[in-house]
Amino acid sequence: MAVRTVRPASQLLHKLSGLSQNSNTRIMRGNKLIGVSPSETIRTQVKSVLSRNEGLNSDQLRINMVARLRTEKGITDERVLRALIQVQRHLFMDPGTAVRAYEDAALPIGYGQTISMPSVVARMISVAIQDREAGRVLEIGSGCGYQAAVLACIFKEVYSIERIAGLHELAKRNAARIIGLPPIQFIFGDGMLGLPDKAPFDTIVIAAAGLSIPQALLSQLSVGGRLIAPEGEQQQKLVLIERKGAQEWARQELEATRFVPLRPGIQR
């Protein structure tokens, strides 16, 4: 089984520091991600750099993907952008779909489920941690483990629940392939019930759409904590919920979206 090292985002960009810089050039300077140039000149130089080290190919694809998320999707949280550069999305996909890993597309992972679009992963996490520290997070729906890996590069403590046994095992295997990835607690169980014995959580991210947000999950938010989730059936939207007090939650509806349905119980 291949094992890959998580490269620090600054290290990835340092390897491209020889590229010429013009008004379109986008690189990482310190903690500031500025983007990646689309020009033919820069692409030629990148190809030259990559030809000296085949292992950098996916690194450059991730850098390009993140630059597009910043310029086209408005993702600006540097913690999120760095995490997306660090985590090799193609390692969480089978060979048939891995070639499309750095497209902004939801792709099948088996069991009727999908890996979320990078822009959606970035958007949900960015909104959840805006203007605050990233402490303890609970993810509902591990899937192939990709989003959990991104969360692990941002949050201090990560718990991820998956109701489908095959995906639970897949997520664990995929995460284990990456040396240097911070620890993730993967749990097989009913995500709609949450993890009351580990609550409260500063952030809860739900990666499937229910008709409403389960009260069990709302009650596991810390006061001041945020939950972000898709909601609805045919017409879905992202919702952001912040716990204001023991029995008080504030709700904000965001943009339209599309997710697989949130289901109760477990599937072995």
- Dihedral sign, CA of 186, 189, 195, 201? positive
Helices of type H across the chain: 9-14, 40-51, 57-73, 78-86, 95-98, 118-129, 146-152, 165-176, 215-218
* Helix, strand, or coil (residue 169): helix
Instruction: Copy the structure tokens of residue 151.
Output: 């969360």
CA 147 – CA 153 distance, rounded (Å): 10
Q: Which residue has the tokens 């033919």?
A: 40
- 3-class DSSP state for residue 19? coil
**217 vs 94: CA distance, rounded Å:** 32
Catalytic residues: 116
Query: 68: phi > 0 → left, psi -120 to 50 → alpha, else beta; which?
Result: alpha
